Amino acid sequence: MTLLKHDAAADGASERVAVVTGSSRGIGRAIACELARAGMDVCVNCASQASVSAAEETAAFLRDAYGVRAIALAANVADACEAKSLIDGAREALGRVDVLVNNAGITRDALVMRMGEDDFDAVIATNLKGAFNCCKAASSYMMKQRFGRMICMGSVVGLAGNAGQANYAASKAGLVGLAKSLAKELAGRNITVNVVAPGFIETDMTGALSESQQAAIRDRIAAKRYGTPEEVASLVGFLASDQAGYITGQVVGIDGGMAL
């Protein structure tokens, strides 16, 4: 785990501090922006030194645009020690850990008969075990505070499955069981745990598809369009807020009616 940036001269401290894994770009960055817009201090996370510049840029943007404290921490959440260092580092730098958004995720798609064991293990390790590692590390702080919001980024694929994504679907389905179990364990300490399950969202991954592939996907969606990272971030922002204190153990879809 590497500390990339800490603006110690920032004015004041937020009442809430959020850690968003995998937040140097895409949906994770949009979530970090939404939480900062709501006044939270934010720890931006990237997996390795390869993403350092993007994480630093995101943290700088949050400070400049929203006037919050923002730091960037590099940590591979699939590694339990690095995940703990991420949470500990955020608390040391920002004073608290109130909100954890488990957004870090990877894909290694292939049909099962062609899927390597390493590809299955890598996806499970990052997407599912990574969330477990971070939740475990954050739970001790949240329990002492008697407040916390844990939000796991699932997927419609985790609910319905998808050919060629057995590893990814299994990891996202596992998050549902993890969140529901944690919700029962932690509710008495005013800690909620929920899953957000996006459908097709405008990202680099969907942008790489051909126009015919994109048209076929949109035809399966009742709204006939992709969602935006900002729409997903808005939902996460609500679940992270005080107003969502009576919502826990839930899977909230945001898929434009794809699952209808």
Contact (Cβ atoms closer than 8 angstroms) between residue 87 and residue 137: yes
The answer to whether position 46 is within a domain reads: yes
Q: Which residues span the domain enclosing 28?
A: 2-253
The answer to whether position 260 is within a domain reads: no
Contact (Cβ atoms closer than 8 angstroms) between residue 167 and residue 113: no
Question: Which element (helix H / strand E) includes 253?
Answer: strand 251-254
**Residue 168 annotated among the catalytic residues of the structure:** yes
The answer to whether position 259 is within a domain reads: no
| Catalytic residue selected from 66, 141, 168, 226 | 168
Per-residue pLDDT of the chain (260 residues; tens, 9 = 90+): 544 444 433 445 568 999 999 999 999 999 999 999 999 999 999 999 788 899 999 999 999 999 999 999 999 999 999 999 999 999 999 999 999 999 999 999 999 999 999 999 999 999 999 999 999 999 999 999 999 999 999 999 999 999 999 999 999 999 999 999 999 999 999 999 999 999 999 987 777 778 888 898 899 999 999 999 999 999 999 999 999 999 999 999 999 999 88
The domain that holds 157 is classified in CATH as: 3.40.50.720
**C-alpha distances in Å from residue 226, one per residue of 24, 34, 205, 214:** 21, 19, 12, 9
The answer to whether position 258 is within a domain reads: no
Contact (Cβ atoms closer than 8 angstroms) between residue 17 and residue 97: yes
SS3 for 61? helix
Number of domains in the chain: 1
